[in-house]
Structure formats: structure tokens, C-alpha cells
Amino acid sequence: MTKASRPRTAADRKHRLQRILDALDLRYPGVTCALRHHDAWQLLVATILSAQCTDERVNMVTPDLFRRYPTIHDLAAAPVQEVAAVVRSTGFVNNKAKNIVGAAQTILRDFGGQVPGTLDQLLTVPGAARKTANVVLGTAFGIPSGVVVDTHVARISNRLDLTRHSDPVKIERDLIAILPESRWIQFSHQVIHFGRELCQARKPRCAQCPIAAECYAKDKQ
């Protein structure tokens, strides 16, 4: 497959980025977070559980978790070890269970039982680092607080030369600098779907890729 040439000017880079965004829009219109949830609290819990775990696995675990503990009050009062037993298959269960119970207690104590709607407030909640906060704010509240950088977004952003960093904070900074704020939320959702379907880490399906014309990755096939 022919490799794309690198854009030479700022205008060329801008046009290339727009072509990438247009291709993602065409392939993945209206996609949203893959974590199943009914409200901001359930999304926060699911996102905490998704660390070092697939969304598919989380979606298998959360229905049972919320049947056992249907409200934030229930989880705030739950023994950590009992919660850990329910979420065991997501990995790192002791830390995740502690964070979930701590998050429930913090939100009840400090925010009247409502998941806070600002980045600074969310970052005070146990288990809610920047990625988690961006997921909750973007998906539950429609607030573009930043760009969610998971493993797919990090890998594909490097592959497409939208960043040359490996640190998620630096990758997010680069993406924020080039993406319109109106695209911060949707971009992550689209790239995550793209990474799962086509631009897979072990064997990217380049022949079927709608962005192939814009890609000059070294391992492009």
C-alpha cells in the first residue's frame, strides 16, 4: 500500500487533520462511550473499573454490581472486601473496590450525593484521575474538559503523527492544541472504536482503513 507523504506546512497539516476527522465522522457517526451506564454515578464507577481492563469485561461486571448496590448510598456503606469480590474479574480489585467505596463516600459528604460537574471537583474523588474525569464530564455532562487518552487514543495518535509522546498528559496536551474544542469528546470515542475495529495494535487492517491515505506509519501494510 502506498504511504502518504508528510505535510510540509501548517496549512497542509490542518487540511490533513480535517480529512482524518471527516473520515472518522463518516465511519463512526454518533458513537459514544462503550461503557454501559444509566447516569453519571454509574459511568464514574464503570470508568474506575476500566483501568487495565477491557470495556467488555466491565460491562459484564457492572450489572451485578449495581443490582447488589443500586444507589450511591449502598456503595458508600458497602464493605470494601464485598465489593472487591463482585468486581474481581476486572483486576486490581482491592484498589478499585477501595476507590469505588471512597468515591461514593466523598460524593455524599462533599457534593450532596451528586457527581460533581467540574474537573477540579472530580479530581478530588478517589479513583478519578484526569482520564476518568474527562470521560465522566464529556459523556455524562457533555462538557469538553479535555481529550480522553486511553491506550487506543495514545497508540493511534502516535501512529497518525498527531503526537510524538508516550505520556498521556503530553499526548492530551498535543491533541488539545490541534483539535477544535467541539471535537474533544467525539474524537476519543471515534478513535477508540477505530482502534478496536481496524487499527489494531498487533495487526492493523490497513487495506480496509478509511484513513489509509493520510497514514505514513512505518508498519503500514
The domains found in the chain, sorted by start residue, are: 10-30+148-214 (1.10.1670.10), 40-141 (1.10.340.30)
- What angle is formed at CA 44 by the lines to CA 99 and CA 155, rounded to 5 degrees? 95
> Which SS3 state, helix, strand or coil, does residue 24 take?
helix
- Residue 174: active-site member: no
Task: Please pick, among 25, 150, 161, 220, the residue that the annotation labels catalytic.
Answer: 150
Tell me what the mean pLDDT of segment 186-190 comes to.
97
CB within 8 Å of 51: residues ≥ 6 apart: 92, 96
- C-alpha distances (whole Å) from 125 to each of 32, 33, 77, 138, 183 are 24, 21, 16, 17, 26
- Considering the entire predicted model, what is its pTM? 0.91
| 139-162 confidence digits (pLDDT tens) | 999 999 999 999 999 999 999 999
- Residue 14: active-site member: no
| 69-85 confidence digits (pLDDT tens) | 999 999 999 999 999 99
Question: CA 45, CA 16: separation in Å to the nearest integer?
Answer: 37
